[in-house]
């Protein structure tokens, strides 16, 4: 399990350049996959997204080939807040090092390791959002 609740949409934006969509395989890292539930069904309380193993591997390879410095330039909390990215309002006025270089970098590096482990084992990834 890899919790990224406070940074998920910021990560998606840094990785893809878009708040919700983006090019594949980058878009598969955070938001991509097949929605298994609608509107946080009663059983789970969250939406569940399934990313098949054949999509995990290209996403893992993309992450492995993309150093955080390559995506960090997209970090602009004011622009991100205008786009409605969750958490961006809280990042305005905070030092870059406190958010981008600590919180988002750490979450990104954890994603890289998580996807690599899943890809190495041929595993699918289930994402819970809600």
- For residue 102, what pLDDT is reported? 87
- Region class of 52: left (phi > 0), else alpha (psi between -120 and 50), else beta: beta
The confidence score (pLDDT) of residue 40 equals: 52
Torsion angle of C-alpha atoms 16, 78, 89, 45, degrees rounded to 10: -20
Distance CA 29, CA 24 (A): 9
CATH match of 8-129 with 3.40.1760.10: yes
- The confidence score (pLDDT) of residue 45 equals 76
> 26-61 in b/e burial notation, b at 16+ Cβ within 10 A?
bbbbbbbbeeebeeeeeeeeebbbebeeebbbebbe
Sorted by where each begins, the domain ranges of the chain are 8-129
Which residues in the chain come in under a pLDDT of 70?
38-44, 130
Tell me, what DSSP letter sits at residue 102? Answer: I
Whole-prediction pTM value?
Answer: 0.90
Q: How far is CA 23 from CA 5, 32, 99, in A?
A: 22, 10, 25
């Amino acid at each position: 399990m890899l919790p990224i609740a406070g940074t998920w949409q910021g990560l998606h934006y840094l990785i893809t350049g878009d708040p919700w969509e983006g090019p594949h395989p980058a878009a598969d890292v955070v938001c991509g996959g097949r929605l298994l539930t609608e509107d946080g069904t009663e059983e789970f309380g969250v939406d569940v997204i399934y990313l098949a193993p054949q999509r995990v591997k290209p996403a893992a390879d993309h992450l492995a080939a993309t150093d955080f410095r390559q995506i960090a330039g997209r970090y602009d909390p004011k622009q991100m807040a205008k786009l409605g990215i969750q958490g961006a309002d809280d990042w305005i006025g905070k030092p870059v090092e406190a958010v981008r270089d600590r919180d988002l970098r750490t979450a990104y590096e954890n994603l890289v390791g998580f996807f690599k482990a899943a890809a190495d084992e041929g595993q699918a990834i289930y994402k819970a959002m809600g």
